[in-house]
Amino acid sequence: MSDPVLTTDAGQVAAGPPPAPGRFRRLSDRGLAVAFISPALLLLLAMSVFPLLWALYLSFTDYSATRGGRAYFVGFGNYTAILTSAQVHQRALTTLIYVVGAVTLQTVLGFTIAYLISRRTHGRGLLTTLFLVPMMLSPVVVGLFWRFMLDAQFGVINSMLGSLGLGQVEWLTRQRTALISLIVVDTWQWTPFIMLIALAGLTAVPKYLYEAASIDRASEWFRFRTITLPLVWPLLLIAVLFRAIEAFRLFDLVYILTNGGPGVSTETLSFHVYKVAFLGFNTGTASAYGILMVLVVIVLSQIYLRYLNRLKEG
C-alpha cells in the first residue's frame, strides 16, 4: 500500500508525510546547496588554492624544502633573478620554438587528417579510432618507445634510412635534430587531439550549405575556403589553445628522450623548474618560477580568448 499523496497550497504534489519539525525544516534551498557543494569546494581549496597561495608565499622567500628551517623574506629577489637570468631566457626561447613548432604542425596535420576522414563515408569510425591510439598512451611509454626508435645505432628509423641508402642521423644527440625530434614525437602523440576536435567541427557543418554551393557549381576549394574553414576555425582555435598550454608545460618527453640535452639545448622551462626545485632544492626560487609560468599562461590565454570572443561576435 502506497503512502497517501499530499497536495500543497501551491498545488504541488508531495509524496509522504511532511518533514518532522526540527533543524532540517529550516534548511533552505540555499543551505542545501551549500551543504552539497562545500565538501567539493573545501577539497578544491585544500588541494588547489592552498598550494597555490603557499607557493606564492614561498616565492618571496629563500625557503629550501630539504634544508627546512625558517623561510626568510627576500622580497622580489627570486622574481628579479629569474627575469634577468640569461639561462631562463634561453629556456624560454627553446620552449617558444617548441610550442610554435609542435602546435603548428599538429594543427595542420590534425585538420588535414580530420578533413580527409570527414569526406569518407565508410570506415570513418575505425580510422578515427586508429588515429586516436597515440593519444591514449602514457607520455612515458611514448618517450621510451621513441627513444628506442630514434637511437642512432640500433633504432629502427636509422635502419630504415640506411636501407634507403641514406646516412645515419643523430636524432637525439645533436642540437637541431634533438629539438626537431621532440616536436615530431609530440606531434605523433597529440595530432589526434586536434584531429578529434576538428572532426567534431567538420561533421557539425550543416549539409545544406554544401548542397547550395554545389547547386551554384562552386569549386571544391571555394567550398573549403568559404564554408568549411570559417565554420571550423573557432573550434580549431580552442584546440590550439589547449595544445599550446599543454606544450608550454612539456616535461615528460624531454626527461625521457633527451634529458634536456645535448647540453641544455632541449631544456624547456618546465624541465628547468624541475632542476631548480629538486637538484638544488631552491624551493623559493622554484616557486617564483612556477608562479611566473602560470602568469604567462593566464595572460596569453586571456589575450587569445578575447580574440576568440571577437571572432565569435564577428
Partner 1 sequence: MQLATVAMLLVATTVAACGDGGDDDATASAPKAPATIPELTTDPLTLSFIWFDWPPAQALEAFANAEYKKERPNATIKVNTVPNANWHDAMFTQFAARKTDFDIAILDSQHIGEAVTNGNILDITDFVKNNIDVEAYNPYLLAAYGQFPQAETGQRDENASLYGLPLLGDTWTMIYRKDLIGDQPPQTWDEMISVAEKCQADNPGVSGLAFHQANGSDAAAVTYNTVNGVYGGNLWDPKTRKIDGILNDAAGHEAMDVLVNKMKPLTARGSGNWFIDEVNAAVAQGKACIAFNWIAASGGLLDPKESTLGSTREQILDKLGFATLPSQKTNLVPLGGMGMHVSAYSAEANQVEALNFMKWFQRADIQKKWAAAGGVPSRTDALASPEFLNAGPFNQVYADSVPRMRDMWNVPEYARLVDIENTNVNAALNGAKSPKAALDDIAKEQQSVLDSSSRRGGGGL
Q: Which residues contribute to the site for partner 1 (CB under 8 A)?
A: 45, 49-50, 53-54, 57, 61-63, 65-72, 74-75, 77-78, 80-82, 85, 87-88, 151-154, 158, 168, 170-175, 255, 258-265, 267, 275-276, 278-282, 284-286
Closest contact distance (angstroms) between CB of 294 and partner 1 is 17
CA-based nearest residue to 155, from 171, 140, 166: 171
Closer to partner 1 by CB, 82 or 199: give it.
82
Q: Is there a contact between 104 and 241 (Cβ–Cβ < 8 Å)?
A: no
Closer to partner 1 by Cβ: residue 56 or 238 = 56
Residue 61 or 128: the one with the smaller Cβ distance to partner 1 is 61
Which CB sits closer to partner 1, 146 or 190?
146
Phi, then psi, of 24 in degrees rounded to 5: -70, -25
Q: Which three cell numbers stand for residue 71?
A: 623561510
Nine-digit cell string for 273: 623548474
Helix axes 229-248, 175-203, angle to 10 degrees: 140
Nearer to partner 1, 25 or 70 (CB): 70
Helix (H, G, I), strand (E, B) or coil at 49: helix
In this complex, which beta carbon is closest to partner 1, that of residue 175 or of residue 214?
Answer: 175
Contact 64, 293 (CB under 8 A): no
State the minimum distance, in angstroms, from the CB of residue 238 to partner 1. 28
Q: How far is the CB of 31 from partner 1 (least distance, A)?
A: 14
Hey, what's the cell of 123? 570506415
Q: How many C-beta atoms lie closer than 10 Å to residue 271's C-beta? A: 23
Query: What is the closest distance, in whole angstroms, from the C-beta atom of residue 61 to partner 1 in the complex?
Result: 8
Residue 272 beta carbon to partner 1: minimum distance, rounded to whole angstroms: 8
Q: Least Å distance between CB 72 and partner 1?
A: 6
**Extended beta strands in the chain, E state:** 5-7, 13-15
Phi, psi (degrees; rounded to nearest 5) at 310: -60, -40
